Structure 1
Amino acid sequence: MKKVFVLTVLLISSILGVTAQENSFSKEEQEIINLSNDKWQWMSDKNVEKLADLFHEASQFVHMGGYWGKEQELNTIKDGGIWYKKAEIHDQKVKFTENTATVYSIIHLNSVVGGNSVRFPFIVTEVFVRENGKWLLSSLVFTKTLGE
């Protein structure tokens, strides 16, 4: 019974924590957070059409094994070289400078790489640029942390 109580308290605390975090963002920050979170879902769904619209033509993607541009990232997702199954987002912060928004996220990424299921802790840096009234992803950088 005690375990059920503790688990219930932890679950409610985590839900309230996420809600509190969402409510602490300004309207502009929340717009970028929503776009970042949509991107994770589109990556999970392998929705390369939505991602192609989001990724800037000159975008760069930095992974543990290398870096490449938009077309290679889209092909990697489409062909299943990396399947971003689920990003467990623990914290997000947004910083703005003129027409640039940078999202810093602490996540655990559940993915399939080369046919192997893996789960890694990352700090992810996403740089969005605003062009013609639309936010585009310019850079996505994964930095593996020592945790887990």
Structure 2
Amino acid sequence: MFIAGLQYASAQENTNTVKAISKQEQQLLDLSKQKWLWMADKNADTLAHLFHEKAVFVHMGGSWGRERELNVIKSGGIWYKKADILNASVQVIGNTAVLLNRITLLAVVGGNEVTNPFIVTEVYVNENGNWQLASLSFTKTST
């Protein structure tokens, strides 16, 4: 279970090493968590502010840009009903942040309800003091 505000496992180590996170890292983890809720609610207008104009999205069925992703969400082509975040990590490198989320995603795709385990890579860029999502990539895992 994701424990906000207390700790996160380092994305670069495959051990049980735990380190305290900074306020900025916590804000990014919170933003990512909120993003999943906005996606579940099909809140395309709010997501339009979060998604960078040059953002890219990689799914099991293809890859595309910001406008198509917003249209897919708005139309329900993919309905991200619920993302159970099993663990999350964040690395901030200058004005870029890379988040890794291990999730179980309940979604409706093409009218069919499916549940899949994923590692989701999110890349955020900070422009003028605002974090925006630049890339969202889903990698299906076996469990």
The TM-score normalised by the length of structure 2 is 0.88
User: Which residue of structure 1 lines up, in the alignment, with residue 5 of structure 2?
Assistant: 22
Mapped pair 1:69 → 2:65: yes
Identity over aligned pairs, percent: 56
Higher Rg of the two aligned structures: 1
Which amino acid in the other structure matches residue 33 of structure 1? L
Q: Where in structure 1 do 4 or more consecutive aligned residues deviate above 4 Å?
A: none
In the aligned structure 1, how far is the partner of 2:6 from the partner of 2:118?
A: 24
In the aligned structure 1, how far is the partner of 2:35 from the partner of 2:43?
A: 9
1:23, CA displacement in angstroms?
Answer: 1.2
1:28, CA displacement in angstroms?
Answer: 1.0
Mapped pair 1:138 → 2:121: no
Which amino acid in the other structure matches residue 22 of structure 1? G
1:65, CA displacement in angstroms?
Answer: 0.3
User: Which residue of structure 2 lines up, in the alignment, with residue 42 of structure 1?
Assistant: 38
In the aligned structure 1, how far is the partner of 2:63 from the partner of 2:5?
A: 31
CA deviation vs aligned residue, 1:84-107 (integer Å, no higher than 9, x gap): 000000000000110000100100
Which amino acid in the other structure matches residue 65 of structure 1? G
1:22, CA displacement in angstroms?
Answer: 2.7
User: Which residue of structure 2 lines up, in the alignment, with residue 116 of structure 1?
Assistant: 112
1:146, CA displacement in angstroms?
Answer: 1.2
Matched length:
130
Which amino acid in the other structure matches residue 36 of structure 1? S
SS in 2 for 1:23: coil
In the aligned structure 2, how far is the partner of 1:64 from the partner of 1:129?
A: 24
User: Which residue of structure 2 lines up, in the alignment, with residue 92 of structure 1?
Assistant: 88
User: Which residue of structure 2 lines up, in the alignment, with residue 11 of structure 1?
Assistant: none
CA deviation vs aligned residue, 1:23-67 (integer Å, no higher than 9, x gap): 123211100001001100000000011100000000000000000
In the aligned structure 2, how far is the partner of 1:26 from the partner of 1:97?
A: 13
In the aligned structure 2, how far is the partner of 1:140 from the partner of 1:93?
A: 15
User: 5+ residue gaps in structure 2?
Assistant: 8-20
**Going by fraction, where is helix more abundant, 1 or 2?**
1
The TM-score normalised by the length of structure 1 is 0.85
User: 5+ residue gaps in structure 1?
Assistant: 1-13
**Going by fraction, where is strand more abundant, 1 or 2?**
2
